Amino acid sequence: MDDAKLNAIVEAIVRELKASGAVQPSAPTAGSATWTPPAPQPFSAKPTGFGGSLTIDLPDPTTPEARMTPRVTNAKDPNGVRALMASTSARIGVGRAGPRYRTVSLLLFQGDHAVTQDALYRDVDQRLLDEFNLFTVQTKVSNKQEYLLRPDLGRLLNDEAKRTLNEKCQKNVNVQVVVGDGLSAAAVEANLRQMFPVVRQGVQSAGLTFGTPFFVKYARVGVMNDIGEAIKPDVVILLIGERPGLGRAESMSAYMGYKPKYGDTDADRDVVCNIFENGGTNPLEAGAFVVQIAQKMRQHQASGVKLKMAK
């Protein structure tokens, strides 16, 4: 798209914002053809300059109040719309501007998408891993881009990782807990502090041995097989960041398997999913729950579909 077209679109948007009262013109004249994009700036709740000619003061669309505000004009049953919106986090009741989203919906979508991207591309904070003495090993993936493009490599430990696990980990333990970044660093950061101690304490109070925990960078769920082969535990519990939804990046899963080995598939695994505070499976409860499942797996010597058949 050339600059002239871009400027025309920008001017049209600015005119629309002005008409809705969201933009206050300031000298010099608003929407002039000399508009240039503002330099990127950190987010500020305060009004920011718009090319030096306008002040934009849009309300923050990401607040819970803004998310819950019905935007359907002339709704037949406004209370019904409100009730429906309160029952789900899905984007309903957002109204429209002609055939398009309203600006507020678009901004919210972009803001939520940014949360997702951050969670996906960021590394888990090293300080958190240090807090739990988790040393790091890596899969055969060497960077984020490759992680996204080659899930198969994220299911295999690299050679150095295998050597490190051999040196540092206790073998033949009852329960091996592993933390993996998966698709959301934010999820691990949001839940590990609460969940990890509950799992460790639960395993130990059940009289089971708790293997040397560690962190796997660029991990996919299938890496459990290599871990099973390297350590030979009864049960592997992999705490891993789930694929982030729009604006929901803090959801973690605990994937579990009984004696995971080469060739095992998801049919041999179980998952406790949607672990996060306020609306998901509470991480403390999830901690207690996975210990129970680990005990069941040991009792029935099975996991996944086989465990379901055994129960």
Give me the residues that bind ligand B12 (CB under 6 A), please: 151, 182-183, 220-222, 240, 242-243, 251, 253, 266-267, 269-271, 273-274
How many residues in the chain? Answer: 311
DSSP element (H, E) containing 176: strand 175-180
| Cβ at position 238, least distance to ligand B12 in Å | 9
CB of 147 to ligand B12, least distance (A): 9
* Distance in angstroms (rounded) separating the CA atoms of residues 308 and 294: 13
Contact in structure between 93 and 72 (CB atoms under 8 Å): yes
The nearer residue to ligand B12, 60 or 121, going by C-beta atoms, is 121
- Residue 155 Cβ, how far from ligand B12 at the closest point, in Å? 7
Cis peptide before 233 (omega within 30 of 0): no
Q: Taking the complex as a whole, how short is the minimal distance between the CB of residue 274 and ligand B12, in angstroms? A: 5
Q: Which of 273, 272, 268 is nearest to 302 (CA)?
A: 268
Toward ligand B12, which CB reaches closer, 94 or 256? 256
Rounded CA separation 156/135 (Å) = 17
CA distance 154 to 158: 9
User: Is residue 126 left, alpha or beta, with left meaning phi > 0 and alpha meaning psi from -120 to 50?
Assistant: alpha
Min dist CB 272 to ligand B12, Å, is 6
Min dist CB 117 to ligand B12, Å, is 15
What burial class does residue 299 get, using C-beta atoms within 10 Å of its C-beta: 0-12 exposed, 13-18 middle, 19+ buried? Answer: exposed
Greatest pairwise CA separation for the chain in angstroms: 76
Which residue number, 269 or 298, has a Cβ lying nearer to ligand B12?
269
Minimum distance between the CB of residue 241 and ligand B12, rounded to whole angstroms?
7
Taking the alpha carbons of 189, 217, 263, 176 in that order, is the dihedral positive or negative?
Answer: negative
